[in-house]
C-alpha cells in the first residue's frame, strides 16, 4: 500500500506568512531607527521638516507662485494639479489599507490635514516631497531655457540640489520622528515619483 501523500501546500497561508514576516521586519527596523536616533536628533527639527511639507502650508505657497516671474510658469500647472492628484491618490490608498501608525508615534504633536492621515501607509509627506523634487528635476530643462543666458543655470542647479536634499531628509525624518514605518516612506516616495512623471507628461499646459 502506497504511503499517504502529503497535503498540498497552502499557497495562501504561505503568502500570508511571508507578508507577516516582511511587516515584522519593517516594524522592527523602523522602531530601531527611531529609538537609536532619538538622543542625537532634536524632535523640533523633524517637526519643522514636517511643517515644511504639510499640504495646508505647501499648497497655498504653490498657488502664490502664480505671481512669480515668467520662468516658473511652465512648472506651475503640473505642480498645482499634481499636488491635488497626490492628495486624492494618498487618501484612496490610505483608506484602502488602513495601516495604523507606529505605537510610539506622539499623536499629540501631529495635526492631520484629512481624516485619512490617521493611517500610516503610505507616507503623504514622502510622496509630496518626492513629487515636488522629481517634477522640478523633470522641468529643469524648460525652466533653464527661460533663464538669462549668462546665468548658465548655476542658480537652478543649486535650487534643484537643495530641493532634493529637502525631499530626502524630510522622507527619512518621517521614520526617525516615529510617524511612519520604513515601507510607508519607501512606497510614498515611489508614488510621488510616479505622480511627477504623470504630471510632467499629461498635466502641462
Question: How far is it, in rounded angstroms, from Cα 97 to Cα 129?
Answer: 22
Cβ proximity of 146 and 74 under 8 Å: yes
147 by DSSP, 3-state: which?
A: coil
3-class SS at 81?
A: helix
Report yes or no: 122 and 174 within 8 Å, Cβ to Cβ.
no
Closest CA to 191 of 131, 103, 137: 131
Active site residues: 125, 180
Nearest Cα to 123, choosing from 78, 170, 62?
170
Packed helices 76-97 and 124-138: angle between N→C axes, nearest 10 degrees: 150
Could you tell me if 109 and 37 are in contact, meaning their C-beta atoms sit under 8 angstroms apart? no
Helix (H, G, I), strand (E, B) or coil at 126: helix
User: Going by C-beta distance under 8 Å and a sequence separation of 6 or more, which residues neighbour residue 169?
Assistant: 49
Amino acid at each position: 500500500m502506497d504511503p499517504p501523500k502529503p497535503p498540498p501546500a497552502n499557497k495562501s497561508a504561505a503568502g500570508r506568512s511571508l507578508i507577516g514576516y516582511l511587516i515584522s521586519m519593517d516594524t522592527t527596523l523602523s522602531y530601531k531607527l527611531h529609538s537609536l536616533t532619538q538622543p542625537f536628533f532634536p524632535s523640533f527639527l523633524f517637526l519643522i521638516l514636517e511643517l515644511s511639507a504639510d499640504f495646508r502650508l505647501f499648497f497655498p505657497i504653490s498657488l502664490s507662485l502664480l505671481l512669480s516671474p515668467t520662468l516658473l510658469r511652465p512648472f506651475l500647472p503640473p505642480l498645482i494639479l499634481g499636488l491635488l492628484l497626490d492628495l486624492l491618490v494618498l487618501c484612496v490608498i490610505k483608506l484602502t489599507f488602513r495601516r495604523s501608525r507606529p505605537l510610539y508615534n506622539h499623536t499629540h504633536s501631529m495635526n492631520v490635514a484629512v481624516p485619512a492621515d490617521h493611517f500610516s501607509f503610505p507616507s503623504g509627506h514622502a510622496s509630496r516631497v518626492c513629487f515636488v523634487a522629481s517634477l522640478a528635476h523633470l522641468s529643469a530643462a524648460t525652466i533653464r531655457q527661460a533663464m538669462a543666458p549668462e546665468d548658465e543655470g548655476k542658480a537652478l542647479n543649486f535650487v534643484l540640489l537643495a530641493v532634493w536634499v529637502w525631499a530626502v531628509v524630510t522622507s527619512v525624518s518621517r521614520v526617525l520622528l516615529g510617524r511612519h514605518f520604513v515601507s510607508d516612506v519607501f512606497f510614498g516616495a515611489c508614488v510621488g515619483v510616479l505622480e511627477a512623471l504623470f504630471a510632467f507628461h499629461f498635466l502641462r499646459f
